[in-house]
């Protein structure tokens, strides 16, 4: 049981900061709803991408913990970023390093640029799928 991640696959170009695939085997699949940069009291963690991304990632950790899972159980993660430009990758990686540190898991991921999210102040939404034994 567990997740086997492939960073390289013959015939596919590598993706910086992402695995090309994740072969997840376990008895439970956990689908997390999209998490945003809100604090437990419902207020925003900040009005910039880095602070919202960091809080959204912290919220994912809380949701995983509530389901007896950890970040190492994440098989796929999807980032939705408002008004995407390549310059926004820096704050996203900075937030991930701030939250995960050396425990940052590289897994299958998708980043989607969007025009807007449900609330106008939201700059990022992150959803994740985890597989556990």
Spatial CB neighbours of 52, under 8 Å, sequence gap ≥ 6 = 36, 37, 44, 45, 46, 122, 123, 124
Write the pLDDT tens digit of every residue in 22-74: 888 889 999 999 999 999 999 999 999 999 999 999 999 999 999 999 999 99
Flag whether 56 is in a domain: yes
Q: What is the pLDDT of residue 54?
A: 98
Contact 107, 74 (CB under 8 A): yes
3-state secondary structure of 55: helix
The CATH number given to whatever domain includes residue 82 is: 3.30.1330.40
As for how many domains the chain has, the answer is: 1
Write the pLDDT tens digit of every residue in 80-108: 999 999 999 999 999 999 999 888 888 99
Flag whether 6 is in a domain: no
Flag whether 8 is in a domain: no
Flag whether 104 is in a domain: yes
Flag whether 41 is in a domain: yes
Flag whether 9 is in a domain: no
Q: What is the pLDDT of residue 15?
A: 84
The model carries a pTM of 0.92
pLDDT band at 2 (very low <50, low <70, confident <90, very high): confident
Flag whether 109 is in a domain: yes
Flag whether 5 is in a domain: no
Domain coverage including residue 68: 26-132
């Amino acid at each position: 049981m567990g997740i086997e991640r492939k960073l390289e696959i013959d015939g596919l170009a590598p993706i910086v900061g992402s695995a090309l695939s994740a072969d997840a085997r376990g008895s439970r699949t956990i689908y997390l709803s999209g998490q945003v940069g809100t604090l437990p009291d419902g207020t925003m963690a900040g009005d910039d991408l880095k602070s919202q991304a960091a809080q959204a990632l912290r919220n994912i950790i809380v949701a995983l913990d509530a389901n007896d899972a950890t970040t190492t159980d994440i098989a796929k993660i999807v980032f939705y970023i408002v008004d995407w430009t390549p310059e926004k990758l820096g704050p996203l990686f900075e937030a991930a390093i701030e939250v995960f540190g050396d425990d940052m898991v590289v897994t299958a991921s998708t980043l989607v640029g969007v025009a807007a999210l449900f609330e106008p102040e939201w700059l990022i939404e992150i959803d994740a799928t985890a597989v556990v034994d």
